[in-house]
């Protein structure tokens, strides 16, 4: 074998090499977190091209997020030794199921009754549409909310059931009206030339099934198919893949059953198990060496996931240095948790914790529920700690962003009725519900879009008064912007958009970025917020600027709108050093040297829903999420919980997560918390603590009363004395070696991560009888408790 330079294979282990080099036939790579699955998959793409097995665009690679797709593109480009810019021409089809489906669907839209320029609706539009349908049917949407119907429709689409294919077992859905309304909804979407997210796959599958010639064309075309995160594919995605792969049978799927976390969205981990049946002769490759995490982190993750019954089971090992144990810390409440984490992050980034400094870009906070993010955002804004929120279309979900996008959509497609409805009276144009209804009636009468309806109404004198004049201005505005869209030119490479929102609309030859500004200006939308006196207004204007800035990365408004309707994450990919905040779901496939996992409390994580559910399926999925969380960490993983948390404005007292009990003790350090324990965090603790006590904490909530117990305890006072005498903070977080401390006496006050505070009432060998303040009498092995008054 002649030696050829194949640098992209450097360092791969034998199992990875096998996965890269086994080019013919189906391959399943089944392996735990951090074992280099994604890396092997990427090398395989390069190898396919290097071996000239396929031209770039004959390779189809499916990733789970757009971010993952981008990273893979960059890596492939680098491995191939050409600049990342050369992308897309000489690059494989890489993207999410959704983005790849759009590409296919645009070419064959007419086969499902759409025009190629169809609009992609987001959940907000989808709900508005469903509400209209429900109202037209006189259904009480208090009892039968649109959201519920949306849930059913989503569920059916994930299973690739078109309205005619929904099985009769589902007939009872949504008060027996579900399937009928589903059919109406699909009809309505078609008349709007629109699709929702689920349709992207559903329509493709429909086309593939009904048009053998089209399918055959793609089957021939895609010689090699690769799929990352295969464990999270739903039925529709699975069919999509199976149909496409049946041509050449060269499909390589990569997955980890322990990381299947989208069951609630219809993902079927069973797809992994079926693989060998669907693709006979599949080569199954297992990877066992983890290259990401330290042994402690790996052991902690393995300990937690071991509690799941439904698993294939895998071996994982690592050669990494032992490193730090997983750190566990309890806090008084969510705000204190955010404060502590903020301080930790800063300290770690400066290197004052005794470790080498770790930059903000390499630290992440992974939350279970997005409402947890607010506490961190608030705190970080206060202390000026730069952060970015990834995952969940949060940015694009904000009201002002959605309004602005509706204006852009109208400019691109004036027939976009949903966009019209959204902004025709935003800002207020003196058009009440009645006026909007008249426009709708008129539109139906002339059989045209709302914009045309409005035009016709105005022409016929059907609308008078102040509203009429303003509506006319609005219609003229849309016409003008639409005209300008056609004339926009790409922005110069390093467009500096200055001044933001200028008074003078620019001339004809606009960049699309300038046009966006002009639209927001002329429509009165910017002044609406400028004149708004609420505290949020300023932030909203900031967001609008951010939005305009984001446009610079695209070469047209259309391109941008398409991108936004597809992104699952906030894509502001700036190079600045920022801490990442994201949900555990969004963190899949990613890795960070330093990871914080806050909110490990029963009811939050695992979620209340999974606890209430009968059976263990929900809890097991939550546990896999815990596994995903811990295994994102390379060197330092910190888990935390709070005893009190404000959830949607209500204080709740919380018990530590059951997953905390499952952490193997030998791999965990329990840290003392400044608030809950009166702990050893040096100078920072009393300041934050005292401030909190005087300020926010006096808010008269019942549960809060117990906090006084902590403050009044002798231990807390001793601690304060000690800290007063010790000005310099300790270089490392103080940890308590629980196992070493055996000297217990009856009457000692103790703390247990799950049961909270209590007093020892009896001692029997290494077992303690403890009367817990909240949880009652328990017998506990002594190494699981720690002294409350450190
Ligand atoms: P996950 O299940 O979390 O998606 P994964 O199996 O896809 O994980 P990768 O992200 O591909 O794992 O790899 C984890 C880390 O290990 C990456 O930083 C990667 O660069 C590194 N890595 C992978 N293979 C090797 C190897 N053979 N030698 C050294 N480092 C490796
Ligand atoms: Mg991966």
CA 513 to chain centre: 27
User: In 10 A of CB 413, how many CB atoms?
Assistant: 22
Query: Where on the phi/psi map is residue 691: left (φ > 0), alpha (ψ -120 to 50), or beta?
Result: alpha
Atom 11 of ligand 1: nearest residue by CA position: 36
Spatial neighbors of 603 by CB under 8 A, at least 6 apart, are 611, 652, 654, 655
What band does 505 get if pLDDT is binned at 50, 70 and 90?
very low
- CA 176 vs CA 139, 152, 173, 189: distances in Å: 12, 12, 5, 22
Q: Determine which of 12-26, 167-181, 230-244, 552-566 has the lowest per-residue pLDDT on average.
A: 552-566
What band does 682 get if pLDDT is binned at 50, 70 and 90?
very low
Is there an atom of ligand 1 within 6 Å of 38 CB?
A: yes
Per-residue DSSP letters for 759-786? EEEEEETTEEEEEETTTEEEEEEGGGEE
Per-residue DSSP letters for 715-758? HHHHHHHHHHT--SPPSS--EE-TTT-----TT-EEEETTTEEE
- Is residue 38 part of the annotated active site? The answer reads yes
The catalytically annotated residue of 362, 388, 578, 632 is: 632
Distance from the CA of 34 to the center of ligand 2, in angstroms?
7
Distance from the CA of 213 to the center of ligand 1, in angstroms?
40
CB hemisphere CA count around 649 (13 angstroms)? 0
Q: Would the annotation count 724 as a binding residue?
A: no
Give residue for tokens 């680098």. 78
- Residue of higher predicted confidence among 488 and 509: 488
pLDDT at 663 over 60: yes
Ligand 1 binding pocket mutation candidate from 16, 34, 319 (most atoms within 8 A of CB): 34
Distance from the CA of 621 to the center of ligand 1, in angstroms?
23
ipTM of the complex as predicted: 0.99
Q: Tens digit of pLDDT for each residue in 382-435?
A: 788 988 887 644 566 678 888 999 999 999 999 999 899 999 999 999 988 888
pLDDT at 493 over 60: no
**pLDDT the model gives residue 366:** 98
Q: Which ligand is nearest to the CA of 628?
A: 1
Is there an atom of ligand 1 within 6 Å of 589 CB?
A: yes
Q: Tens digit of pLDDT for each residue in 541-591?
A: 877 887 887 788 788 898 888 877 765 444 445 567 899 999 999 899 999
Q: Determine which of 55-69, 94-108, 335-349, 495-509 has the lowest per-residue pLDDT on average.
A: 495-509
CB 253 within 8 A of CB 38: no
The catalytically annotated residue of 229, 232, 344, 417 is: 229
What value, to the nearest 5°, has the Cα angle with vertex 149 and ends 145 and 153?
165
- Is residue 259 part of the annotated active site? The answer reads yes
Pairing of β 579-583 and β 592-597: unpaired
Q: Tens digit of pLDDT for each residue in 195-232?
A: 998 999 999 999 999 999 999 999 999 999 999 999 99
Domains of the chain, earliest start first: 7-105+207-289 (3.40.50.300), 119-192 (1.10.10.160), 304-392+575-706+714-728 (3.40.50.300), 396-566 (1.10.486.10), 749-787 (no CATH)
Distance from the CA of 289 to the center of ligand 1, in angstroms?
9
Is there an atom of ligand 1 within 6 Å of 34 CB?
A: yes
- Is residue 37 part of the annotated active site? The answer reads yes
Torsion over CA: 183, 188, 194, 196 (sign) = negative
Q: Which ligand is nearest to the CA of 44?
A: 1
CB 670 within 8 A of CB 328: yes
Is there an atom of ligand 1 within 6 Å of 629 CB?
A: no
């Amino acid at each position: 074998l002649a030696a050829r330079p194949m640098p992209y294979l450097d360092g791969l282990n034998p199992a990875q090499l096998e996965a890269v080099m086994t080019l013919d036939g189906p391959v399943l790579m089944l392996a735990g977190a951090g074992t280099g699955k994604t890396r092997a998959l990427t090398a395989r793409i390069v190898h396919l091209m290097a071996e000239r097995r396929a031209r770039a665009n004959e390779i189809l690679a499916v990733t789970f997020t757009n971010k993952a797709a981008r990273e893979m593109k960059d890596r492939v480009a680098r491995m191939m030794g050409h600049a990342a810019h050369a992308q897309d021409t000489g690059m494989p089809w890489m993207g999410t199921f959704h983005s790849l489906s759009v590409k296919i669907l645009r070419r064959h839209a007419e086969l499902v009754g759409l025009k190629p320029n169809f609009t992609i609706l987001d959940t907000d539009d989808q709900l508005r549409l469903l509400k209209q349908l429900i109202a037209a049917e006189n259904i009480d949407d208090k009892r039968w909310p649109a959201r519920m119907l949306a849930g059913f429709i989503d569920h059916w689409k994930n299973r690739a059931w078109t309205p005619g294919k929904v099985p009769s077992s589902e007939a009872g859905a949504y008060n027996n009206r579900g399937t009928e309304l589903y059919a109406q909804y699909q009809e309505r979407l078609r008349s709007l030339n629109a699709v929702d997210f689920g349709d992207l796959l559903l329509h493709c599958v429909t086309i593939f099934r009904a048009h053998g010639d089209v399918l055959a064309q793609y089957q021939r075309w895609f010689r090699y198919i690769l799929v990352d995160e295969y464990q999270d594919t739903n039925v529709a995605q699975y069919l999509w893949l199976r149909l496409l792969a049946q041509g050449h049978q060269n499909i390589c799927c990569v997955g980890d059953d322990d990381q299947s976390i989208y069951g609630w969205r219809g993902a079927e981990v069973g797809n992994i198990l079926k693989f060998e049946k669907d693709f006979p002769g599949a080569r199954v490759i297992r990877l066992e060496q983890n290259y990401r995490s330290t042994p402690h982190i790996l052991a902690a993750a393995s300990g937690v996931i071991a509690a799941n019954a439904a698993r294939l089971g895998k071996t994982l090992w690592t050669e990494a240095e032992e490193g730090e144990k997983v750190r566990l810390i309890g806090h008084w409440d969510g705000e204190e948790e955010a404060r502590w984490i903020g301080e930790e992050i800063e300290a770690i980034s400066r290197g004052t914790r005794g470790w080498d400094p770790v930059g903000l870009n390499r630290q992440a906070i992974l939350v279970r529920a997005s409402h947890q993010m607010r506490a961190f955002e608030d705190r970080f804004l206060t202390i000026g700690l730069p952060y970015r929120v990834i995952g969940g279309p949060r940015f694009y979900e904000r009201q002002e962003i959605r309004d602005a996008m509706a204006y852009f959509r109208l400019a691109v497609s004036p027939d976009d009725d949903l966009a019209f409805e959204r902004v025709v009276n935003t800002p207020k144009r003196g058009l009440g519900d009645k006026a909007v209804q008249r426009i709708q009636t008129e539109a139906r009468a002339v059989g045209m879009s709302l914009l045309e309806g409005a035009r016709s109404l105005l022409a016929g004198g059907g609308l008078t008064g102040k509203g009429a004049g303003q509506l006319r201005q609005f219609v003229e505005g849309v016409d003008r912007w639409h005209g300008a869209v056609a004339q926009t030119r790409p922005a110069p490479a390093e467009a500096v958009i200055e001044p933001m929102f200028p008074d003078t609309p620019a001339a004809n030859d606009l960049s699309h970025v300038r046009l966006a500004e002009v639209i927001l200006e002329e429509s009165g939308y910017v002044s609406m917020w400028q004149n708004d006196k609420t505290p949020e207004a300023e932030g909203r204007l900031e967001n609008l600027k951010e939005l305009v800035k984001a446009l610079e990365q695209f070469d047209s408004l259309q391109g941008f709108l398409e991108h936004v309707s597809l992104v699952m994450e906030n894509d502001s990919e700036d190079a600045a050093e920022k801490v990442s905040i994201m949900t555990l779901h969004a963190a899949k496939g990613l890795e960070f040297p330093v990871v914080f996992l806050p909110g490990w409390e029963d009811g939050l994580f695992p979620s209340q829903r999974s606890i209430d559910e009968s059976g263990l399926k929900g809890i097991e999925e939550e546990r896999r999420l815990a596994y995903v969380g811990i295994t994102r960490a390379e060197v330092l993983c910190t888990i935390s919980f709070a005893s009190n948390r404000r959830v949607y404005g209500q204080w709740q007292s919380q018990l530590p997560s059951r997953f905390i009990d499952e952490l193997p003790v030998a791999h965990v350090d329990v840290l003392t918390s400044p608030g809950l324990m009166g702990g050893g965090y040096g100078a920072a603790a009393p300041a934050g603590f005292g401030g909190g006590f005087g300020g926010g904490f006096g808010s008269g909530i019942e549960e809060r009363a117990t906090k006084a117990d902590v403050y009044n305890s002798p231990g807390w006072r001793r601690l304060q004395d000690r800290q007063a005498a010790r000005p310099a903070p300790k270089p490392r977080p103080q940890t308590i070696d629980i196992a070493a401390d055996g000297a217990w006496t009856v009457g000692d006050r103790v703390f247990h991560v799950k049961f909270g505070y209590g007093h020892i009432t009896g001692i029997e060998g290494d077992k303690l009888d403890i009367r817990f303040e909240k949880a009652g009498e328990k017998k506990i092995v002594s190494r699981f408790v720690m002294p409350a008054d450190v």
